[in-house]
Amino acid sequence: MNGLALSGVTGGYGSIQVLREISLRVHPGEIVTIVGVNGAGKTTLLRSIAGVLKSWRGQITLDGESIIGHPSYWVARRGLVLVPEGRGIFGDQTVRENLLLGTLARRDGKDAAAIGRDLERSLTLFPALRERLDGLAGGLSGGQQQMLALARGIMAAPKVLLLDEPSLGLSPILVRQIFEAIGRLRQEGLTVLLVEQMAGQALALADRAYVLEQGRITLEGAASQVRENPSVMQAYLGRNRVT
């Protein structure tokens, strides 16, 4: 089984259960999105996959190998890299240093030529970073920090890149730029699992989609179909009270 596969994953924080029997697939070369309102459990799901949180039950495999129960650094080095919500950049190091820290999880033995190629690719994708390469990452604007976080994810040359709310706190123009960049990455063959609250843009970009509601997957299918489904709108803006 190639790609990322979850089956029956249950988990949460402490004793509070958030995820209820999640099963999903991400095939190589796909962009899959998980949409749902704030609090549906999207971030918890990504953090559980990446090994930041320990899942309680279920199976998670990457290219057929079980990755459940391992710490985050182990999972990252297997080729599954999470760009976390809040970006997680290292503000006291330069943009270049941040990008190079991204290469730790590479599986190609730190091949200098390949690293150089990926660096060039990231900087072409986000020209704003090229100008600030030797400036401290903490001095970047919110949008540039998000670009840096994405670029750093690319530097790891991952099998699957997990993106947690890349649009968070960004102005609409920046959100569009970020989404365009993700679209271009897909053309280069990157596999992405994207978690988004901005369902409109995420669904326009993705191949397939899952809708997460209260820790459960309530709908799945081709992104275009999910987009047309009226229950998505309801999940976001509320149904009338059932009386």
Site residues for other proteins per CB under 8 A: 12-13, 15-18, 37-39, 50, 52, 71-73, 76-77, 81-82, 84, 88-93, 97, 100-102, 104-105, 142, 152, 156, 165, 167-169, 171-172, 175-176, 179, 197-202, 204, 214, 227, 233, 235-241
Q: Which is nearer to other proteins, 77 or 186 (CB)?
A: 77
124 torsion bin: left (phi>0), alpha (psi -120 to 50), beta (else): alpha
Residues 39, 135: Cα–Cα separation, whole Å: 35
3-state secondary structure of 57: strand
How near is the Cβ of 89 to other proteins at its closest, in Å? 7
According to DSSP, the β-strands at 160-164 and 80-83 are parallel
How near is the Cβ of 75 to other proteins at its closest, in Å? 9
User: CB within 8 A of 219, min separation 6: which ones?
Assistant: 210, 211, 226, 229, 231, 232
How near is the Cβ of 88 to other proteins at its closest, in Å? 3
How near is the Cβ of 177 to other proteins at its closest, in Å? 13
Q: Which is nearer to other proteins, 27 or 177 (CB)?
A: 177
Burial group, residue 32, by CB count within 10 angstroms (0-12, 13-18, 19+)? buried
How near is the Cβ of 197 to other proteins at its closest, in Å? 5
Residues 239, 33: Cα–Cα separation, whole Å: 23
Q: Which is nearer to other proteins, 39 or 69 (CB)?
A: 39
